Structure 1
Amino acid sequence: MTGELSPIDKAKFVAAKRAVEFVEDGMRVGLGTGSTAAWMVRCLGEMVREDGLKIRGVPTSTRTAELAREVGIEVITLDEAGWLDVTIDGADEFDGKLNLIKGGGGALLQEKIVATASDQMIVIADVGKEVETLGAFPLPIEVIPFGWQTTKLLVEELLINMDVLGREVTQRMKGDEPFVTDEGNFILDLHLGRIGNPHQLSMVLNQMPGVVENGLFIDICDIVVLGYGDGRVETRDINEGTVEEDRLDFAESDNLFSDMLD
């Protein structure tokens, strides 16, 4: 099966495969949202079915919840879990300090709540997600529908005084209709080019009425597992200051993810 994967999908697969090795029996696990996180959920499901792994998963979106149930993972709410042992999720960008931009899939609010309610956050990514400075990927912010155009104008004015290259703000669409989050809110994408001070920007955005949350994950990620198209995996632990490199072999007969290739 893996012979049919693109190099990017191979990178996502090996990163996910390595990341789930951090999950132990009895853990409460935050399950991220997005294409890379979907590989992780599939890998965990395989461990549940074939290895008897007993975990409870807290999904960060309705689509992740559906996938988790499909592959055999017990799904519970964050309120039922109380606190999580680990959250594994993808990222749209990360820098050398493991600060992130997330929200490309529109689930940034639940993703941030779940990640901050965890002892540890592990990010899985392909090598293309690493950047020197955050901002090339549009920064999503979740806003309530009431007065969203006013909120958009206020955000554009706020950006004038921020250390960013661009200030274009667009509403995220799904076809001809606005994209709506699981909480019934809208997403505005901030096309900034470069974010000179992520801490400051995150703080001032969240102080604005109408803004529910932003996609800057600052000082939340503990470990990033970086996958390469040739099977190499690099694991960086920001707390321990360690970098480990390895290579995972592909099982050519494995068809666990064949439906993801359609």
Structure 2
Amino acid sequence: MDQTEQNKLKALVGQEAVKYVQDGMIVGLGTGSTVRYMVDALGKRVNEEHLNIVGVTTSTRTTKQAESLGITIKDLDEVDHIDLVIDGADEISDDFQGIKGGGGALLWEKIVADASDKCMWIVDQSKMVHQLGAFPLPVEVIPFGSSHVFAKMEKFGFKPSWRMDGDEQYLTDQKNYIIDLHLGQINDPAKLYEKLIHIVGVVEVGLFLNRVNDVIIGTNNGPVVKHAR
């Protein structure tokens, strides 16, 4: 699939997703290229239909975009719940487990998802896979002692690499580093998550397990909605 076709599918699922946003909702707004199209579509609805909604974002990038479109944004600690979070994903397996964090926002994305009543992922069809692992698994780590965390992951055979931003190590909005694990395939995501999250210095892992309610998939025949749970 070429980039133009992929962007078309991303725009379609973004437009489909905002149909689920209702007046008065508190909506979690994810991060990533697909979400950008969704936020554009949501901003259009807010301005044309005068929707009274509040957005809670998962990155400073999404905050800037949403505010530029006239969407009211509040911090997570300013709201008591989120009705619906709409976010992208880097891979979704047949059993609706996911890898997220390609955009570097996995910690905030997971915190917002955990505070949400419902979780919706929007992806183009290339993100649907039988088994997770082809996409490098992001792991967010604190900078202090991070080289030791990296070495431990090497010892485990996880084939780690530092996420880079030019010549510098990539910094998340929380000022942490990201280590990407090149696993090829993940046979037991839950077991892997437990192993990684208990490494001291690891903040969060880009495995999003048993979290999504609905997935909207952009296909050449139009958006397809699948109910995960």
**TM superposition score category, shorter chain reference:** over 0.9
Q: CA deviation at 1:53?
A: 1.1
Report if the CA contact (8 A) 1:122-1:221 is conserved: yes
188, 191, 195: which one aligns with 2:186: 195
Report if the CA contact (8 A) 2:28-2:57 is conserved: yes
SS at match of 1:227: strand
Q: CA RMSD in A?
A: 1.0
Q: CA deviation at 1:54?
A: 1.1
* Structure 2 CA distance for aligned equivalents of residues 125 and 156 of structure 1: 31
Report if the CA contact (8 A) 2:43-2:69 is conserved: yes
Equivalent pairs counted in the alignment come to 227
Counterpart position of 2:123: 125
Report if the CA contact (8 A) 2:63-2:73 is conserved: yes
SS at match of 1:54: coil
* Structure 1 CA distance for aligned equivalents of residues 106 and 75 of structure 2: 17
Which aligned segments of 4 or more residues in structure 1 are displaced greater than 3 angstroms? Answer: none
Q: Which runs of 5+ in 1 are unaligned?
A: 161-166, 240-262
SS at match of 1:188: strand
Counterpart position of 1:218: 209
* Structure 1 CA distance for aligned equivalents of residues 215 and 94 of structure 2: 10
7, 12, 15: which one aligns with 2:10: 12
SS at match of 1:88: strand
* Structure 1 CA distance for aligned equivalents of residues 25 and 106 of structure 2: 23
SS at match of 1:131: coil
SS at match of 1:86: strand
Report if the CA contact (8 A) 1:138-1:192 is conserved: yes
62, 65, 81: which one aligns with 2:63: 65
Q: CA deviation at 1:97?
A: 1.6
Query: Which amino acid in 2 is paired with 1:187?
Result: I
* Structure 2 CA distance for aligned equivalents of residues 13 and 231 of structure 1: 14
TM-score in terms of structure 2 length: 0.97
218, 224, 229: which one aligns with 1:227: 218
* Structure 2 CA distance for aligned equivalents of residues 77 and 12 of structure 1: 27
Report if the CA contact (8 A) 1:14-1:231 is conserved: no
State which structure, 1 or 2, has the greater radius of gyration over its C-alpha atoms.
1
Query: Which amino acid in 2 is paired with 1:198?
Result: P
* Structure 2 CA distance for aligned equivalents of residues 117 and 203 of structure 1: 21
Percentage of pairs with the same residue: 47
SS at match of 2:135: coil
SS at match of 2:39: helix
Q: CA deviation at 1:52?
A: 1.0
Counterpart position of 1:39: 37
* Structure 1 CA distance for aligned equivalents of residues 128 and 149 of structure 2: 30
Q: Which runs of 5+ in 2 are unaligned?
A: none
Counterpart position of 1:100: 98
Q: Deviations over 1:217-260 (max 9, x none)?
A: 000011100012x4511000112xxxxxxxxxxxxxxxxxxxxx
Counterpart position of 1:179: 170
SS at match of 1:6: helix
* Structure 2 CA distance for aligned equivalents of residues 185 and 107 of structure 1: 10
* Structure 1 CA distance for aligned equivalents of residues 188 and 18 of structure 2: 32
Counterpart position of 1:208: 199
Counterpart position of 2:140: 142
SS at match of 2:46: helix
Query: Which amino acid in 1 is paired with 2:141?
Result: V
Report if the CA contact (8 A) 1:10-1:231 is conserved: no
Q: Deviations over 1:7-35 (max 9, x none)?
A: 10110011111111111110000000000
Report if the CA contact (8 A) 2:125-2:217 is conserved: yes
Report if the CA contact (8 A) 2:153-2:159 is conserved: no
Query: Which amino acid in 1 is paired with 2:224?
Result: E
